Amino acid sequence: MTLQDIANYAEILGALTVLGGVLFGLFQVSEFRKQRRDAIAAELTRTFYNAELADAVALVRSLPDHCPPNELRQRGPQYERAAIIINTTFETMGLLVFKKIADYETVQQLAGGMIVVMWRKLDAWLEQVRKEQSQPSWAEWFQWLAEQTAARKDEGRPAYLEYRDWNP
Model pLDDT for residues 139-158, shown as the tens digit of each residue: 999 999 999 999 887 666 77
Cβ proximity of 100 and 61 under 8 Å: no
Helix ranges (DSSP H) in 48-139: 51-61, 69-74, 77-98, 104-133
pTM of the model: 0.73
Q: How much is the pLDDT for 45?
A: 65
Residue 42 has pLDDT above 70, yes or no: no
Q: What percentage of the chain exceeds 90 in pLDDT?
A: 47
Question: What torsion do the CA atoms of 115, 119, 125, 131 make, to the nearest 10 degrees?
Answer: 100
> Confidence class of residue 62 from pLDDT cuts 50, 70 and 90?
very high
